[in-house]
Amino acid sequence: MGVEEIETYAETYARSLRDPAGFWASEAERVPWFRAPTRMLEQDEQGVWRWFTDGEMNTAYVALDQHVDAGRGDQLALIYDSPVTSTIQRLSFRELRDRTARVAGGLRQLGVEKGDVVVIYMPMIPETVIAMLACARIGAVHSVVFGGFAANELAMRIDDAKPRVILAASCGIEVQRIIPYQPLLNRALEVAEHRPEHVVMFERPQCPVEWLADRDLEWLSWEQASQPVECVSLGATDPLYILYTSGTTGKPKGIVRDHGGHAVALNYSMRAIYGVGPDDVFWAASDVGWVVGHSYIVYGPLFAGCTTLLYEGKPVQTPDAGAFWRVLAEHRVNSFFVAPTAFRAIRKEDPDCTLRKQYDLSSLRYQFVAGERLDPPTYLWLQEQLQVPIIDHWWQTETGWPICANMAGLALLETKAGSCTLPVPGWDLKILDEAGRELGPGEEGAIVVKAPLPPGALPTVWGDHQRYLASYWDDYPGFYQTGDGGYRDEDGYVFVMGRTDDVINVAGHRLSTGRMEEIVAAHEAVAECAVVGRADAEKGQVPLGLVILKNDVKVGGRALRDDLVSAVRQGIGPIANFRESVIVKRLPKTRSGKILRKVIRNMVDGERYQIPSTIDDPEILSELHQELLDQGVIGDK
Ligand code: COA
Ligand code: AMP
């Protein structure tokens, strides 16, 4: 790496901003279209910039059929490695295409048409990938719900997305624990107002289904009885999927992704960012329920003709902290992507990484991390353990692919601990202060991106365009607000320091403290509460509840805490990791009554905080500080 790489990067980045339509038109030539676009970039009637508007294509064709048609049908498309069921299964592009075509036919027989929504509530098994691609094949819009969410969260998504059909599996498996999905689904359907017409259940041997004769279809016989169908031709701007993510309020936001821009952007990212191409093995150790799973377990690698790895296991305990090294070696993985929290879990169990020495990791070229801030100690530990570039890159459900990265396939630059390097071509990134003025090197502010966003980024929020505008565009007109804060150094390197809103990141899972507050506040003893993210050495952040009791209530702290833990587990799911709450007398607020969550967050993390001029009663801060000290929440410093 040197001057040449910097010039290559700088020239490409500048070109992408100078002539976005030209830049992406040449990338669009690399994906197969049924009708090639002639209009690259234009604003729709709502003023949203849309890509490739007159192009026609099909995402499942890009992922599967194009490779079969090009004579690569026998190449491996997917390796399913499941230590929790002791299974390894391999599917070629042809096999995956053929099963997808049948499932697509089965959906069509159930009446699913272009534009209909299908909710997928399934774990990390090949049928989940097939379900997503089958929806794409017929133009149905899939919405995958992560298995760690409780029935209520599933119900909210069902009511918002209004699926015609639900595809589900009988269980997920957490190390050795079977998590039956059917009771969760049944409960969600009791709570939800919307009724799907059909439920197709995939019965796993680990957990039998209790069939409801008038509702459920059995997956395998349904798939076998179906006629395979071809890919339909879809508009580039037709929706491919909805993926719900946590926002500031309790109600999840349905992020919409379209077909054309998504395919072009992800295909570009595989080559330019991840440095892989056909026949390479790509592994993202995430879950299909998250955006990383959508983009880099399912779509990106398959678009690029790579073999993708679907891993149903954990970094530790399945069976030990050598699990990742075993998978990397056994399947000759070339590019690996995981959340830092997973490496922190490995480091805790095996600090010297002795288990790694049992495996041959010579196939590995790059180690990518994202999903949360890569803390410098984890970065340095990884650098010591793996003899490949460690690449921190930053992005979000909304963007669908990286905003900042060190681009392995374009020009690898020098890395800096704590930085996700530089903006990826297409993303015109700025750091602004509250008044919308651009900040200089080292000055921390809101990270925003100037419109138009590149292909692949969200064009709207499902069923609520106003929310899209209010959440992302209203604060800084003309700029997309990422919700993250940070700064650039004198070389332009980007340092993402954390969310500026009420979203927290727990073990790589994005969660809303607003939703937790709704649940905590609903407890009969609670008058008012605030939930904030608190720094955690392993999980990055964990939630902490601060609770004010109603006047006449006498309840022990422990009993209340147990109640609240169980309410949040029931309401959101175990992944919320809500384990701690403290009773306090008062919460600091502004004169208009808004709780000063940022100040509380800084206080519980032992950081310096500024007393805002809008504070109602500054004395509450010292009172709260003392209460947190007395209850052992913060140390005495
Ligand atoms: N279905 C059901 N329950 C789930 C689940 C799922 N898919 N995923 C997690 N849970 C449960 C866990 O079993 C645990 O339950 P418990 O409280 O009863 O023990 C709880 O949710 C909390 O899980 P988690 O926060 O993941 O902690 P953990 O200690 O089980 O695992 C890690 C810690 C680091 C190993 C794990 O969080 C991990 O692998 N994280 C990577 C996250 C990731 O890939 N994110 C995607 C963005 S890149
Ligand atoms: P999600 O939408 O679940 O992918 O979560 C996106 C959020 O995770 C971002 O807005 C950031 O707050 C955080 N995030 C993701 N990647 C990084 C990274 N590399 N560095 C810092 N924060 C990150």
Q: In the chain, what are the domain boundaries?
A: 3-313+393-486, 511-630
Atom of ligand 2 nearest to the CA of 505: 8
Ligand 1 close to Cβ of residue 286 (< 6 A): yes
Q: Which of 290, 291, 338, 372 to mutate to test the pocket of ligand 2 (most atoms within 8 A of CB)?
A: 372
Ligand 1 close to Cβ of residue 507 (< 6 A): yes
Q: Percentage of the chain with pLDDT > 90?
A: 93
Query: End-to-end distance of the chain based on CA atoms, in angstroms?
Result: 44
Q: Is the peptide bond before 32 cis (omega within 30 degrees of 0)?
A: no
Domains 3-313+393-486 and 511-630 belong to one CATH topology: no
Nearest CA to ligand 1 atom 5: 148
435-491 pLDDT per residue, tens: 999 999 999 999 999 999 999 999 999 999 999 999 999 999 999 999 999 999 999
pTM for the structure as a whole: 0.96
- What is the average pLDDT score of the chain? 96
Q: Percentage of the chain with pLDDT > 70?
A: 99
Tokens of 307: 């073999």
Ligand 1 close to Cβ of residue 237 (< 6 A): no
Task: Report d(CA 333, CA 325) in Å as an integer.
Answer: 10
Poorest-confidence range of 159-168, 466-475, 602-611?
Answer: 602-611
Q: How far is the CA of 28 from the centre of ligand 2 (A)?
A: 27
122-141 pLDDT per residue, tens: 999 999 999 999 999 999 99
Which residues are paired to 92 by β-bridges?
Answer: 76
- For 25, 27, 149, 594, the CA distances from 454, given in Å and listed in that order, are 12, 12, 31, 36
Span 402-429, mean pLDDT?
96
Point out the ligand nearest to the CA of residue 84.
1
Split at pLDDT 50, 70, 90, the class of 174 is very high
Q: How far is the CA of 437 from the centre of ligand 1 (A)?
A: 40
CATH architecture of structural domain 3-313+393-486: 3-Layer(aba) Sandwich (3.40)
Q: Which residues line ligand 2 (CB under 6 A)?
A: 245, 290-291, 370-374, 392-394, 396-397, 420, 483-484, 496, 499, 505, 510
Report the residue count for the chain: 637
Nearest CA to ligand 1 atom 45: 508
Ligand 1 close to Cβ of residue 340 (< 6 A): no
Point out the ligand nearest to the CA of residue 349.
1
Which residue is it, tokens 């992922």? 63
CATH homologous superfamily of 511-630 = ANL, C-terminal domain (3.30.300.30)
188-214 pLDDT per residue, tens: 999 999 999 999 999 999 999 999 989
Judged by phi (left if over 0) then psi (alpha if -120 to 50, else beta), residue 459 lies in: alpha
Burial class (CB in 10 A: 0-12, 13-18, 19+), 608: exposed
Task: Look at residues 60, 514, 515, 510 and name the one whose alpha carbon lies nearest to residue 290.
Answer: 510
Atom of ligand 1 nearest to the CA of 573: 21
Point out the ligand nearest to the CA of residue 403.
2
Q: How far is the CA of 575 from the centre of ligand 1 (A)?
A: 6
